[in-house]
Structure formats: C-alpha cells, structure tokens
Amino acid sequence: MKTSLKMSKEQILTLENTTFHFDEAINGFKVKNDVLVPKFTYNVKEKQGNGNYILTNRGSDYSVARITGEASINKENIITGNFNSNEVSGNYVINVQDQQMNINAAGRDYLTVNYGGNSYDVNPKVNNLVLKFNNKNILQSGNIQAKLKSRDNKYFNLINADVNVKNGSYNVNADVNAKGQNLRVSGTTTADMKHSYKIKTTEKGRIDVAKLLRGLWI
C-alpha cells in the first residue's frame, strides 16, 4: 500500500493517491483489482470523512474493466457510497458495526461473469438488497431482476428472472429459453437449500424432455 498523508492544524487528515491491490476469492469467485483513492479527507474531531475511488480490473471473474465511485463515512461508522461503470451503476450503505450492506444497482449493458467453470452474460437490476456478512445466509432480503445469457448454451439460452429474497430464502419466477423451448419456472429455495419448483411450457403442447436431456450432452 502506498499513500501520501498529511494532518492540518484543524485535525483534518488527508490521504492522497492511495494505491493497493485487492486479490481475494469469495465462494470461488475471484475479485482482483488495483485500487486507487485519489483523495480522502477525514475530520478527526467530527469523525467523518469522504473521498473518491477507482477500481481497475486485473483478472476478476467479471468483465467490468473500470469502476469509479465516491464514498463517505460518518461518526457512527456508516459508509454511504456510489459506483459507476459502462455496464452497471448503483449505490450502497454499509453499517460496519452490524456487518450489513444495503445495495441498489441497475445494469446499463450486459457484463460477463465466470462462475463454476461456466461463463454468463448478465444484465442485473437490484432493489434494496440486504446482505448480512456475519450471517450464514448472507443475502437477507430485497429483489433481484436479471437477464442471463449462457455463453456455451449447454443448459439454457436465455433466462429472465425475478427473485425476491426474504430471510435467506428465494422466491423465483423466471422465463427460460432452453434448447428452443420456452418454459416458465416458479418456486422457492429455502434458507437451508431445499428446492420446490414448477416448470411449464408457455406454448401449446408438451415439454420435450428428451430434447432437453439431449441438449445437456451436446
């Protein structure tokens, strides 16, 4: 980590051109970024500060090349910030003491995500998603809408999903195009990962199960 630090007579701490490298894997998802904080000021007496930051992708499992944003912290150690990129933008609030994060985000374009050995193109919209980092079920509540394209088309071609999160459980409604068949998938996944879903075709006729199964092996 590198930085330039100075303290004024009024006890205003200023950090300039702070740089460091972030390299972590979160549940198998790689996040590798060079981080630059051009300027951060902190009022020691009032215990509040603000600054801006730039994240440069150096091999993360997502395709967003550059993210910029601003953030502030108050005397209760609550961080409020925003982020912007060509693909997605949003805002967040982090309660450090409670280890909780609230986030809103809206996709501007598709971004590529690598996970579990597969690649997907995703255009997300997130409304008041609550994450509790000290809880077994990190996702606690909120709504996630996403358009998802499979790059290899092994299991599906396109998914439009609407997911409501409540107490770590997921209520899912999705339109799926799989091997040329249009399906409606609805159901729940509980906090202890028990799944209950219904699948029906949105077109006349029956679901061609054999065709779907053949597609898994192509």
SS3 state of residue 140:
strand
Return the amino acid letter for 38.
P
pLDDT in tens, 82-104: 999 999 999 999 999 999 999 99
How far apart are the C-alpha atoms of 86 and 167, rounded to whole Å?
32
pLDDT in tens, 147-160: 999 887 667 889 99
The more confidently predicted of residues 135 and 180 is 135
**Could you tell me which residues come within 8 angstroms of residue 46 by beta carbon, excluding any fewer than 6 positions away?**
75
SS3 state of residue 211:
helix
Lowest mean pLDDT, pick from 25-39, 54-68, 191-205: 191-205
pLDDT of residue 166: 93
From residue 158, give the alpha-carbon distance in Å to each of 89, 97, 186.
23, 40, 16
pLDDT of residue 215: 45
pLDDT of residue 180: 76
Answer yes or no: is pLDDT of 214 > 60.
Answer: no
SS3 state of residue 212:
helix
pLDDT of residue 72: 98
- Dig out the tokens for 21 from the structure: 């490298």
What phi and psi, each to the nearest 5 degrees, are found at residue 213?
A: -65, -40
pLDDT of residue 39: 97
**pTM for the predicted model, two decimal places:** 0.83
Per-state percent for the chain, helix, strand, coil, to nearest 5? 5, 65, 30
Q: How many CB atoms lie within 10 A of CB 202?
A: 11
Question: Across the chain, what does the average pLDDT equal?
Answer: 90
